[in-house]
Each structure stands twice: as structure tokens, then as C-alpha cells.
Chain A
């Protein structure tokens, strides 16, 4: 996965910097709190939320269990409907396929619907290297692109920007890319949306090639689904002559009927709406309506490696709603950039280290970017037990072990930097299996408690730098238990 931001520091360093940025913290707090309350209300409207969540989980699990079969069925259905299916094992191959497809049209610019998959593979950069300009058309993606910025949220990539900053970016940068921002643009959201409408309209109307992702692909019918709000998706999906969709292989659902679950849970979980303004579905090509050429690029890029992990594979159920980001206390304070991946927040902390492996410093640190409070699991509309996967990945980082990378089984060595943790755990294991030594140690600790330091020395300093050391009681528990006969005498 080439979505790694080069030279990205590990999460703790990046987060420390972000937490010091008061504008960023204000922006994130405002946005996440707004959406949290609305989501709770939208979910409370449907009495059968628990059943919908369970069904969504099972549909996705079943699909993943038979992914090979459904991929073949999808390919057959898309082809029968007039589409052309391509397979990309990794980011480089997907970029190569898309670049060649665009070149075959003779065009040097494309319009894009917001898509996590194309962010993940760095498609815009790959196209640019070949002289093809990709215009992002989602409002938040536009803000990120014009601001030469990085996305920080799955649904709203510019969530770290407030309206004043957006106004400044539009006024300064729009003229570089096409139609300039109107004179005297203010920071009211309606005016900013209008500026984006005017700026992008000329690009939509002349576009010959559109590039999208998809929220769902229906295996039995070959139908693709894009869920959106602004209408930029509809523009890119219907006006160009050629449409290229890059979609992760885990986005399949078996049947048309399955959409009845996700079209209820996705909008309420993501934008807290009963239904998002626009949903487009298309099956291959339609004579005289929309693109006459349709390419589907099926993307692996670490997904099959993730599928090979018995605990971690549940991350592939994700429908990219971003409810887990909005509810996460760590995300709210650190922001999306600190995660060093296009997938930030709790889902990013379990997805990125699986898609990319835990080789880099940032990826090895991501499973720790959580307080394990479990709020993410509670709001997840496909019931991904994110804390379970986080703990599983922490174990893998510390202990090493067998994983699958690019389809091959490899054995990971224990990560550096966790020597003290491993030593502490080994010492604890020894102490707890030697009761005499444990008793002696506890008594010694109680008697010397007045001399204990407030912070740990050596490798423990980082741990106690942000935590209080628990005070040692005057008497060890087991001594107290014996002295009071298990508390029985005292109760009388």
C-alpha cells in the first residue's frame, strides 16, 4: 500500500504536535460533537437498529467467507452488462491500469468522485507523473487538493479546516486550477458551496473521463453503488464518455436485496441522515444514458493478507461510514493526520497496519493509538470489534509471529522498542508463579513506600510521563486478607 505518508513519525509524536494546535482541536471538537449528537438521533429513529447491524455483519462475513466465488460471479455479471473488469494485485498495478485506460482515451484530465481506494493507492500522484491532471470534485476533497493538504477524515477529508480557513484557501488557490473564487467571498457555508459549484461546473461539463470508487458492488447483478450528497458523484458517473471505477475486493455484497440493510445503516452512521441526498446505481453500460465505456478495476493491495488473519479479517467488513472516528476520544484530540494514513481513527488503526504491515514506525505504533474505550465498536454498523483487533495487533507487534504479506506467509520478528514491556511481562509471569517471592516483594514494596519515586526511571519514564504511578498500600492485600480472615471477622 503506497498510501504511507513518507517520513511520518510514529503516532505518539505526531499526536503530541497535533494536540498542541488549538485551532485544530477546536475544529475537531466542534465537528465531531455536532455529528455525534445527530447520529445518535438518526439511529434512535429506527427500532430495529440492532437487527440491521447484525444482518450487516453477517452479510459481510458470509461474503468474505466466499469471496473468491463472489468475485467471479461479479466479474461475470459486470462483463455481461457491458463493463470491462481488470484485476490489480497492488497499488502500482492499479495505477498502471488506470493510467493506460486514460491514455487510451487521448484525454489529459479526469474528474474524480471522492474515493478512499484511489486515495489509498495514490492515484492522483501517479496520473500527474504521466501528465494527466485529476480534479477532485467532492467539496472536502477539493479543499484538501487546493490547500495542498492531506485528508484527515474518511467522510469529510477537510474536517480539520474551519470555514474561515476554507474561504482563504478558495480565494487564494482556485484561480490556479480554473475559475477563480468570486470577489469578496465570505465564510458562510452556503457561499463556499456556491463557489465550489461555479468552480467545478466547467470541469464537469467538459469532462470526458470520470474516475470513481464504489460503496457496494452486487455480485448477482453486477451493479455498482455510489452514495453521495453533493451531486458531484452523479456528474462524474453520468456526463463523461468513459467511467473507470477502482474498488476494493471487499466491497461486494451477494444480492440486490442486501442493499436494503446498508442503505439504511450507512447514511445514518455517516452523515446522520435518514438518507443521503443522492445514491447512484449502475449495471455495466446503458445505451444512450451515461458513459459508453465502463471499466471496473478490482483492487487487492493488502486485502487478501488481511483476510488471512483470523482475528483481523473482520476489519474488511468496514463500509467506511466514519462513525468510529466521530465518536473516538483519541481521534477528537489528535486529528486524522497523526495516523499517517488515508484511513485515520479507530478503523485506520486496525486497517492500515494490516494493509501495509507493521514494518514502519508509524504502522507499528497505530495499534496503540487507542484507549480501548470501546465506543468505536458500539457505533460500528457492521459490529467490527475494533478493540479486539487492536489488542491482537499489539500482541503481534510485541511478540512477532506468522503473518501473510503479499500472499506469502512470513514470520515477523518482535518489534524494537518493546524490550522493557516484554521484560516487565516476563518478570510478572515469574512473580505470579512464585508465591513466596511475590509475598516478599510486596512486603518490601509496602515498607519502602515512602521512598518510592513519583515517576519511573529508565525505559519506564515514557509510561509514567503521562500517568500517575498507583500508590502502594501500607499492607499487601494478602496480608490484610490473612489478618482479617478474609474480612469475615471485621464484618461481625
Chain B
């Protein structure tokens, strides 16, 4: 007998006492919980996103589309970044105002090479206001998972209000489970020393989120 058969057999014997239940799953679990918490206008939802991002130490900037390139150039300069990782599908206009060396997101790059890059600029798939979360799904404007992990400085552009949802249930609805997802709520942190939150461990220690209007 294989272990697979052994385990499945044990499960079936273990449940011998339980009455049969053929109820379809949709009816088996009552979902009386809220789809979102509170009623907010679109602009209030964006405001809540900004508030919760900042509460977990992300640095939040707001701009209209025409100011975006200048803002990104300024952030890279202020940081003193000499190089920036660029996902293949990133809107070319976003980096139009900066002369910083661009490093392409390539499969061949080694982790050590990525470690020498100062910053990374990406878009996102969706942002969740209630929790201050941005989600990346590996689309061409976000790149491979590792490019937003190894560099110490991540600039993430959120198109508002189009990419913003209120709640976790609404966020999940918009996401494709087949894609590798990374949910990010603030910069890397830990609660491992005396159960108190400290920012800055292995992921990017500086997370800047740009809310760009008009989308």
C-alpha cells in the first residue's frame, strides 16, 4: 500500500461516524460577514489607502499623470540611487525624466547582480484600502517576484482610483490565483524581538507608494 492510499484510507475511517453530507459547498458555509467595512466614497477609499499605507511606514506620494516622471526622478535622486531595475512592460514615460542606469529584469540575472541594484520601480495589480496593501501579480509592468525583493528601495505606482478596492474580499476577486502573487503591506518588518514591530529586515527597507490620479 502506498502512503497516499494509507492516508486517504485513514481519513475515510476517521470520518466513519459523521453523517453523509452532499450539500454543495456554496451552501455549506454561511458568509454573513461584510464584503467591506463602512461606506466610503471613491476619494475617501483612496484616502484610507494612503492613511493605512503610511501607518505601516510606507512613504506615500500623490501626483497627477503629468507629474509622475518628475516625481520618480526626484525620488531616485533623493535616495542617491545609481541604478534602477525596470520590469519589461513598465510604461516608458514613467522613467522619462531620470538618467539613472536602467537594469532590465532578465531571467539570467543572478541574485548577486540584483543585490547590487539600488532601486526598483513597478506598477501593481490591485491595492486594498482597509489593510494598506498593494498586490503584485508578476504582470509585465511588475516583473519577476525577486526584483521587488532584493533591492533595498521599492517605488510602486498605484493608479487611483481604478486599481483601488476597499477590502480583502474585493481584492481577492480581482486577482488570478494562477499567477504568483506578492501582497505587500509596508516595508519588511518583524515582531520577533519582544513581540514589538520593527521595520527593516530582509525585504526592501524603504517602500514608496505613488498614488497617481486620473486612472
* A residues at B contact (CB < 8 Å): 27, 30-32, 34-35, 45-48, 51-52, 54-55, 58-59, 62, 65-68, 71-72, 81, 87-89, 93, 137-140, 143, 155-156, 158-159, 162-163, 166, 189-190, 192-194, 196-197, 200-201, 204-206, 218, 221, 223, 229-232, 234-235, 237-239, 249, 254-257, 259-261, 263-264, 271, 273-283, 286, 288-290, 298, 300, 304-305, 307-308, 310, 313, 326, 404, 407
A283 lies within 8 A of B180 (CB): yes
Binds A, one of B74-82, B96-104, B192-200: B192-200
- CB atoms of B172 and A259 under 8 A apart: yes
Q: A189-B194, A238-B146, A277-B186 are in contact. Are A263 and B180 (CB under 8 A)?
A: no
Given contacts A34-B194, A200-B202, A264-B168, contact A281 B177 (CB under 8 A): yes
With beta carbons under 8 angstroms apart, the residue of A35, A275, A288, A290 that contacts B131 is A275
Q: Which residue of B is nearest A276, CB measured?
A: B185
Chain A residues with CB under 8 Å of B7's CB are 71, 87, 89, 249, 298, 300, 304
A166-B193, A221-B177, A280-B182 known; A404 and B37 CB under 8 Å?
Answer: no
Could you pull out 22 A-B pairs where Cβ atoms are within 8 angstroms?
Answer: A27-B194, A48-B33, A66-B21, A88-B3, A89-B7, A139-B193, A156-B191, A189-B194, A193-B193, A205-B110, A229-B191, A230-B202, A234-B182, A238-B145, A239-B111, A249-B11, A256-B172, A257-B172, A278-B185, A279-B182, A289-B146, A305-B14
With A190-B200, A280-B145 already in contact, 14 other A-B pairs whose C-beta atoms are closer than 8 Å: A48-B34, A51-B31, A68-B15, A156-B195, A158-B192, A205-B115, A221-B177, A229-B191, A238-B144, A275-B128, A278-B182, A278-B183, A290-B145, A307-B10
With the chains together, A404 CA to B169 CA distance in Å? 39
Contact B177 A193 (CB under 8 A): no
> Given known contacts A67-B15, A277-B184, A404-B14, is B37 in contact with A140 (CB within 8 Å)?
no
A-B residue pairs, 8 tightest by C-beta: A231-B203, A231-B202, A304-B10, A308-B14, A230-B201, A275-B131, A279-B183, A51-B33
Interface string of B70-113 (1 = CB under 8 A from A): 00000000000000000000000000000000000001001110
B residues adjacent to A (C-beta < 8 A): 2-4, 6-15, 17-18, 21, 25, 28-34, 37, 52, 56, 107, 110-112, 115, 128, 130-133, 138, 144-146, 149-150, 168-169, 172, 177-204
Q: Which residues of B contact A259 (CB under 8 A)?
A: 172
User: Would you call A289 and B145 a contact (CB within 8 A)?
Assistant: yes
Q: Contact check: which of B14, B181, B185 meets A304 at CB < 8 Å?
A: B14
Chain A contacts for B112, CB-based, 8 A: 205
Q: A260-B169, A277-B184, A407-B10 are in contact. Are A193 and B29 (CB under 8 A)?
A: no
Report how far A231 CA is from B28 CA in the complex, Å.
36
A66 to B14, CA, bound (A): 11
**B29 pairs with A58, CB closer than 8 A:** yes
Q: Shortest distance in angstroms between A384's beta carbon and chain B's nearest beta carbon?
A: 17
Q: Are A34 and B195 in contact (CB under 8 A)?
A: yes
Interchain CB contact under 8 A, A230 and B190: yes
B29 touches A197 (CB 8 A): no
Which residue in chain B gives the minimum CB-CB distance to A62? B28
Most chain B CB atoms below 10 A, which of A192, A194, A263: A263
Contact across chains for A138 and B192 when beta carbons are under 8 A apart: yes
Docked pose: A218 CA to B144 CA in angstroms: 23
A352 to B194, CA, bound (A): 26
Contacts of B14 in A (CB 8 A): 304-305, 307-308, 313, 404
- A276 and B133 CA atoms in complex are apart in Å by 9
Considering the chains assembled together, what is the distance between the CA atoms of A286 and B137 in angstroms?
Answer: 12
- Note all chain B residues with C-beta closer than 8 A to A140: 192
- Tell me how many residue pairs across A and B have CB atoms closer than 8 Å: 258
Find chain A residues with CB under 8 A from B10 CB.
300, 304-305, 307-308, 407
Known contacts: A278-B183, A286-B180. The answer to whether A194 contacts B200 by CB under 8 A is yes
CA–CA, A55 and B189, complex, Å: 29
Nearest-neighbour CB distance to chain B for A152, whole angstroms, equals 12
Contact of B15 among A65, A223, A305 (CB under 8 A): A65
Q: How far is the CB of A419 from chain B (nearest CB, A)?
A: 32
With A255-B25, A288-B107, A300-B10: A204-B192 Cβ-Cβ less than 8 Å: no
Partner of B202 from the list A47, A235, A256 (CB cut-off 8 Å) is A235
| Cβ A232 vs Cβ B202 within 8 A | yes
Tell me the smallest distance from the CB of B16 to a CB of chain A, in Å.
Answer: 8
Query: Are A273 and B185 closer than 8 Å at their CB atoms?
Result: yes
Q: Are B181 and A280 in contact (CB under 8 A)?
A: yes
Task: Provide the residues of chain A in CB contact with B9, threshold 8 Å.
Answer: 407
Smallest distance from the beta carbon of B42 to chain A beta carbons, Å?
21
Taking CB atoms, residues of chain B closer than 8 Å to A159 are: 194-195
Q: Contact check, B180 vs A281: say whether CB atoms are below 8 A apart.
A: yes
Contacts of B145 in A (CB 8 A): 234, 237-238, 280, 289-290
The reply to whether A232 and B191 form a contact with Cβ atoms under 8 Å apart is: no
* Residues of the A chain whose Cβ atoms lie less than 8 Å from the Cβ of B200: 190, 193-194, 197
Flag if A277 contacts B203 (CB, 8 Å): yes
Chain B residues, Cβ within 8 Å of A201: 115, 202
A278 contact set on B, CB distance < 8 A = 182-185, 188, 203
Q: Give every chain A residue within 8 A of B202 (Cβ-Cβ).
A: 137, 197, 200-201, 204, 230-232, 234-235
| Distance of A262 from chain B, by nearest CB (Å) | 10
User: A263 to chain B: which residues have CB within 8 Å?
Assistant: 168, 172
Across-interface contacts of A137 in B (CB, < 8 A): 202
